[in-house]
Structure 1
């Protein structure tokens, strides 16, 4: 199976998502989106494929979000996409696309929706169990 992850290695959620993909036996194409951001068309494709809206693709915890006034609900999707293209740090992460679909993987275990079934136990960096010793996903 092919997989692509738009990754930020400084982000724990992104690291856990990447670890889950590898745990499933897949070596994904890893794109560090801060250095190699997706094109506008590619980002729109990911947003649509994941079933989120443009506002949901924005990292609201970043200082630039408020500095740029992106909390203004009257802003159009085009204006928001312009801001994302000019400020890749504002793109929420991680985005993953596999042969089974695309997801914004927050929390990281969302990636399991687009991976082959994983039954080998897995815990996140902080020890939170995602797949238990019986191969069951922990809610």
Structure 2
């Protein structure tokens, strides 16, 4: 069983709430980062994505209006990272970090792989 967990959480997101509850029910008291209020730095975001084995395009919310407004459909990885830092609503959630690894928990069941 994992002993530590950090969740990059948006309390308005049903999937994020479900994952947080799953972590708590596993007996772990997670560190909760409300990433819209406290966004990761560029280095932190790059590390999270690398640790989760994700490219920026796999972790960006393409349905957000700002995605379309910024014309990110054909953007390169560095541009996507910059957009996610500037507009954290673009970061897909929840991202969970434990001593067993890092995962973008979409669907929510993916969190079990790091608990």
TM-score, normalization: structure 2?
0.96
Q: Structure 1 residue 21: deviation in Å?
A: 0.3
Superposed displacement of residue 20, structure 1: 0.5
Q: Which has the larger radius of gyration?
A: 1
CA separation in 1, counterparts of 2:51 and 2:11? 24
The runs of 5 or more residues in structure 1 that have no matched partner are: 116-139
Equivalent positions of 1:1-139 (< 5 A) are: 1-72=3-74, 75-115=75-115
- More helix by proportion, 1 or 2? 2
List per-residue Cα deviations over 1:44-72 (Å, max 9, x = no partner): 11111111111011011111111110112
Equivalences, count: 113
CA apart distance, 1:4: 0.3
SS of the residue aligned with 2:73?
Answer: coil
Once structures 1 and 2 are overlaid, which stretch shifts more, 49-58 or 8-17?
A: 49-58
By relative contact order (CA 8 Å, sep 6+), the higher-ranking structure is 2
RMSD (Å), alpha carbons: 0.6
Secondary structure of the corresponding residue to residue 6 of structure 1: strand
